[in-house]
Amino acid sequence: VVEPGGLQRIEATIGGFLQAGTYLGAITVHDTVSGERLEIPVRVSVKDAWLMPGAVLFATVLTAAGVNYWTKKGRRKNRLDLRLTELQNTLKLAGSDENPILSDALQFLEKARAYAQEFQFSRAEAAIEAGKQRLEAYEQRKHGSEALRQTIQALLHDVREFGESDPQNARLNGELIRLLPNVEHDLEGTEAIVKQLEMFLHAYRLARRDAFTAREKLAGSGEYVKKADQSKIEFLLREIDRMLTNAETMSALDEANALLRKVAFELSPEKINDNIFRSQRIEKRLDLLREQVKRVTGTQMQRIVGNMQERAESALRDNRCEESEAALQELDKTLKLVEKMK
């Protein structure tokens, strides 16, 4: 019972809700004295227990993580597929599969694609890198082959400049032409041979030039050249020509260059000055022996010592000082024997 003007606290328990949401209702208050009724509207908001939101949140997080994981894998696979496509296009442009380096590159790229399909990204990237290295090696060999062909063509041009009359023209020209087909399948071996031929050609050209210069100097009108041992130098030059004609190795050219150094020494001012002084000494000695020759009697003996004197004088005229000195020494001994026989 509520007194007039009084208050009464009423507690109501509402239940039976099947799911979360907002529910509307009313509470009816009945006045037993006056018989009046009053309906009081009631609005009830129902929420899920904490386990349900937690489960939903957890499921959402897992879903987001899964989507992110698969998205990352997809992007990585797409990147690998793009790299593979680029490398395979490069491989197609490179040329024939008969090349062993290109065959290796193709095998690595096929393995990489298989690994990428299985999401084995580390293996796929390793195989792609190996294929890329093979393609780079192929490009390097390709550029090396082209450079080597250009070197051979340049050497052929140099050989032709020697002229067809040059004794080395045909041999060098033939060897260089035979090397051209070997560039593709034996780059390293062909390159080594070309370097040897290049060195030989350079040394041969220098030797020919030095021999030509020596001949020009020997045929010159300079006064000092007249005192050179021309017969000796001409003999050396003939030997040099023979060596250069038959030379096929650097050692043969080294022998020719050794003789060229002797020729250069024979034509040097030091050697010619030495010849001048020796000639003067020989001439003085020859003057003394001429007087002794005149005193020799007997036809046969005069002929013997006369021949010795002629050999000494002839050698002296040709600046063959060694031969002249040897002839004078023999003449001197003979004249001393003649003196004892008197």
Q: Residue 42 above 80 pLDDT?
A: no
Q: Is the confidence at residue 66, as pLDDT, over 50?
A: no
Q: DSSP secondary-structure letter at 9?
A: -
Instruction: Select the more confidently predicted residue: 272 or 58.
Output: 272
- The CA distance from 207 to 201, in Å, is 10
pLDDT reported for residue 7: 64
Residue 226 is predicted with a pLDDT of 65
Q: Which residue has the higher pLDDT, 208 or 79?
A: 208
* Spatial separation of the C-alpha atoms in residues 105 and 75, rounded to whole Å: 25
Most confidently predicted of 35-39, 217-221, 319-323: 319-323
Q: Could you give the CA distance from residue 56 to residue 230 in angstroms, rounded to a whole number?
A: 115
Q: What rounded mean pLDDT belongs to the chain?
A: 82
Lowest mean pLDDT among 19-23, 142-146, 303-307: 19-23
pLDDT band at 268 (very low <50, low <70, confident <90, very high): confident
Query: What's the pLDDT score for residue 29?
Result: 72
Average pLDDT in the 49-71 region? 49
Give me the pLDDT at residue 149, please.
Answer: 95
According to the per-residue pLDDT averaged within each range, which of 13-27, 233-247, 315-329 is highest? 233-247
Taking the C-alpha atoms of residue 154 and residue 148, their distance in angstroms, rounded to an integer, is 10
The 10s digit of each residue's pLDDT in 141-194 is 889 999 999 999 999 999 999 888 999 999 999 999 999 999 988 899 999 999
Higher per-residue pLDDT: 48 or 307: 307
- Give yes or no for a contact between 37 and 55, defined as CB atoms under 8 angstroms apart: no
**Which one of 171-180, 229-238, 289-298 scores highest in mean pLDDT?**
171-180
pTM for the whole thing?
0.57
Strand positions, DSSP E, 231-319: none
pLDDT for the residue numbered 160: 92
89-108 mean pLDDT = 80
179-227 per-position pLDDT tens digit? 999 998 889 999 999 999 999 999 999 999 999 998 888 877 455 566 6
Distances (CA, A) of 104 to 117, 143, 198: 20, 19, 34
pLDDT reported for residue 63: 44
Q: Which long-range contacts (CB under 8 A, 24 or more apart) does 217-222 make?
A: 217/267, 218/267
